[in-house]
Structure 1
Amino acid sequence: MLRGATVISLDNKGRIAIPKRYRAEIINHCDGLFVCTIDHQFSCLLLYPINEWVHIEAKLATLSSLHPAERRIQRLLLGHASECDMDGQGRILLPATLRQYAHLQDKIMLVGQLNKFEIWSESLWQQQIEHDINLQAEDAIAQSSRLSELSL
């Protein structure tokens, strides 16, 4: 299980070091091989262990290339997908085009999402979290007013 948010550094060659707490599990389950692609909804990257990526590719293969929206998803996710091999020091090289898409510079956030990591620029991550917290608060207010209208 990949979980938690960790601030990590992007080195001058475009590499990130996977935190040590994940390395043994990653090596055991996917031999340190990942696929990195863009998130089509947010300015971040998605980093899948290869065994998880296989499931994503199978789902993408079921989409129709004749349906414009489905083809866009295939084009974005598969077209940007890049294999990344973890080296002996636990580092992964992120391709320049992907780093540019996600506005990655010195400090980045590696965010566990059960079967994958999200990779965010630290500043965009903070903005997204503030946005999500505000939306969650609005959702809670809407829910409580709906419940009070029911007169239970």
Structure 2
Amino acid sequence: MWGIVGEQDNIVEDGIELDDEFLGEFHHSVDAKGRLVLPSDHRSLIGKETIHMTLGFDNIMTIHPPADWVKIRASVGEMRRGDRSQRRTARALFSNASKQTLDKQGRITIPPNLREKCGLTKEVVVVGMGEFIEVWPQDRWESEQGEANDLYVNTDETTGMGSL
């Protein structure tokens, strides 16, 4: 539910101010120990909270703060356990998940199996997606970004995004 709060007219959804969102594209490196420094804008939103990282759609790593992870868990809880496809989705999500907090340098350690599955070797791109973060191998991001931008600017279909 959208609403207006405070004197500054900050729009909130589910108690989260819209200023509290992950935005932007940041080029970083994964070090030899599998650690990734998150962008300072993102670190300030995460703070000392526990984050969850997992294998996301398009075979990339996703990072979720607690509020987003709660929504994901609720969605999985609503899946039909008798549906093989839905069970497999839940297995992929949870078997590749890891809980962490940022270290003093603002780093997270990406588990080796997740680095391998997502192709995260050295150069990566951290992409803000509003409620969560995506981490792409740089070469794949360049390809994806080109295709996504082309689709976005050249679409003649309704996007479902209001006045965009």
TM range, smaller chain? 0.7 to 0.9
Question: What secondary structure does 1:2 align onto?
Answer: coil
2:43 alignment partner, one of 6, 14, 23: 23
Give, in whole Å, the separation in 1 of the partners of 2:26 and 2:125.
Answer: 6
Q: Which residue of structure 1 aligns with residue 27 of structure 2? A: 7
Q: Which residue of structure 2 aligns with residue 65 of structure 1? A: 81
Q: What's the TM-score, normalizing by structure 1? A: 0.83
What letter corresponds to residue 109 of structure 2 in structure 1? L
Question: Is 1:134 aligned to 2:154, yes or no?
Answer: no
Give, in whole Å, the separation in 1 of the partners of 2:152 and 2:41.
Answer: 30
1:97-136 deviation line (CA, Å, top 9, x unaligned): 1111111121100000011100000000011112223333
Q: Which runs of 5+ in 2 are unaligned?
A: 1-20, 158-164
1:44 alignment partner, one of 38, 42, 60: 60
Structure 1: 4+ residue segments shifted above 4 A: none
Question: What secondary structure does 1:3 align onto?
Answer: coil
What letter corresponds to residue 24 of structure 2 in structure 1? G
Q: Which residue of structure 1 aligns with residue 51 of structure 2? A: 34
Choose 90-99 or 58-67, whichever is displaced more. 58-67
Larger Rg: 1
Q: What's the % identity of the aligned pairs?
A: 26
1:138 positional shift: 5.4
Choose 76-85 or 127-136, whichever is displaced more. 127-136
Contact residue 84 and residue 94 of structure 1 kept, 8 A: no
Equivalent pairs, count = 137
Give, in whole Å, the separation in 2 of the partners of 1:65 and 1:106.
Answer: 38
Give, in whole Å, the separation in 2 of the partners of 1:136 and 1:88.
Answer: 38
Q: What's the TM-score, normalizing by structure 2? A: 0.77
Give, in whole Å, the separation in 2 of the partners of 1:137 and 1:50.
Answer: 33
Q: Which runs of 5+ in 1 are unaligned?
A: 144-152
What letter corresponds to residue 108 of structure 1 in structure 2? V
What letter corresponds to residue 81 of structure 1 in structure 2? A
1:53-98 deviation line (CA, Å, top 9, x unaligned): 1221111111112112211211111121111221111000000111
Question: Is 1:76 aligned to 2:89, yes or no?
Answer: no
